[in-house]
Amino acid sequence: MENHITKVVTNWKGRILHWDVLNEIFNEDGTWRSSVFYNTIGEAFPGIALRAARAADPSAKLYINDYNIDGAGAKSTAMYKLVEKLLVEGVPVDGIGVQAHLTVGSVTSTLQANLARFTSLGVDVAITELDICMTLPADEAKLAQQAKDYREVVTACVNVPRCVGISRFHP
């Protein structure tokens, strides 16, 4: 893992603004997702990965990215606690990527508060892979709700000073 991260990050050193070093590492209930890294290294793998990325490019921002952490819940709490622990241990974490694969009418009322909770740790947050799907066929009501939902997500990000960006996901 360290060798791979070092090779990839070194290859792009100085040309990549931020890396999603860790992606989708938690199950819905906040437990660790089974992966070759978790199964082989255990709970130490995030720190090892982030330290290797920082060593390979000290100027790049390092993110942990996951889905279904937009609102309050077990998975977002697991992310919060992990980042809090890593920072206490001196592990470099610059931000949390919040994948927002949403459905029309389902933007959580806790989105803005949860983004602010993440940034209270002293890290940036970015809404990544934003998409708000609907059951087809589309109609005026669904399209109006979708527009309202996008506006709500953007407003939540804008209202949190360390929410640094939104990326649209196009499946």
Which residue out of 2, 24, 43, 89 is catalytically annotated?
24
SS3 call for 164? strand
CATH number at residue 104: 3.20.20.80
CA pair distance 97, 69, nearest whole angstrom: 9
> Is residue 169 pLDDT above 90, yes or no?
no
Is 140 annotated in the active site? no
Which residue out of 28, 43, 129, 140 is catalytically annotated?
129
Please name the amino acid found at residue 42. G
Query: Over the stretch 20-77, which tens digit does the pLDDT of each residue have?
Result: 999 999 999 999 999 999 999 999 999 999 999 999 999 999 999 999 999 999 999 9
Look at residue 170 in the predicted model and tell me its pLDDT: 67
The parent domain of residue 42 ranges over: 2-168
| Domains in the chain, number | 1
Query: Over the stretch 89-145, which tens digit does the pLDDT of each residue have?
Result: 999 999 999 999 999 999 999 999 999 999 999 999 999 999 999 999 999 999 999
Is 28 annotated in the active site? no
Look at residue 171 in the predicted model and tell me its pLDDT: 60
- Which residues are bridge partners to 124 per DSSP? 95
Tell me the pTM: 0.94
CA pair distance 38, 128, nearest whole angstrom: 24
Look at residue 168 in the predicted model and tell me its pLDDT: 83
Please name the amino acid found at residue 49. A
